[in-house]
């Protein structure tokens, strides 16, 4: 009977510990070949690819993962500083159009070290995934002068989820580090 009680006690303890394990296990994730570190809630996958940004093929560095019912991604591209405003606007418009966004709320977003641009914003909105399912999005776009001072780094963070997750988005956006 004592062995059974100990076994049941261990199962109860294991169940309790499992229930307490966080769905969002935040960790610093540096973007390769940049001085940007994002705070992501899971181990990130990394990728680089060429994308058309402002009609010009541009190398995009990405890191992202899924956790707690949400997808988190951070993206960075380098472009001439003189084009930062128009490229941020275009990137935001394309993202919102792609998800058929509605009920979009916009506010200024300028982390320490970023350029003071009207296009540096944080949005919250709803829309559709590619499969037609409903999705909520929290996203930011901003630019900063790239190390070396000749170009701008355009930065985009986004979180997609089925339901609003404001606290997770706040943690994600405020955890960004620019060196």
pLDDT, tens digit, 9 for 90 and up, residues 110-166: 999 899 999 999 999 999 999 999 999 999 999 999 888 889 999 999 999 999 899
pTM of the entire predicted model: 0.85
User: What b/e string do you get for 18-43 counting C-beta neighbours within 10 Å, with b at 16 or more?
Assistant: eeeeeebeeeebebeebebbbbbbbe
**Is 178 buried (19+), middle (13-18) or exposed (0-12) by CB count in 10 A?**
middle
The predicted structure's pLDDT at residue 22? 59
Question: For residue 168, which phi and psi values (nearest 5 degrees)?
Answer: -65, -40
What domains are defined for the chain? Answer: 23-178 (3.40.1000)
């Amino acid at each position: 009977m004592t062995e059974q009680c100990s076994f049941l006690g261990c199962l109860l303890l294991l169940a309790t510990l499992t229930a307490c394990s966080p769905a969002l296990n935040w960790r610093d994730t540096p973007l390769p070949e940049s001085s940007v570190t994002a705070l992501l809630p899971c181990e990130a996958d990394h990728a680089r690819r060429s994308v058309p940004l402002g009609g010009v093929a541009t190398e995009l560095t990405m890191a992202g993962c899924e956790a707690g019912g949400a997808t988190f991604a951070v993206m960075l591209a380098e472009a001439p500083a003189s084009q930062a405003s128009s490229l941020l606007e275009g990137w935001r418009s394309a993202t919102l159009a792609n998800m058929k966004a509605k009920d979009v709320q916009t506010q200024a977003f300028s982390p320490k070290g970023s350029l003071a641009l009207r296009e540096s914003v944080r949005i919250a909105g709803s829309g559709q995934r590619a499969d037609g399912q409903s999705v909520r999005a929290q996203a930011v776009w901003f630019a900063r002068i790239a190390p070396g001072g000749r170009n701008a780094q355009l930065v985009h963070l986004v979180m997609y989820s089925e339901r609003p997750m404001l606290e997770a988005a706040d943690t994600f956006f405020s955890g960004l580090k620019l060196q």
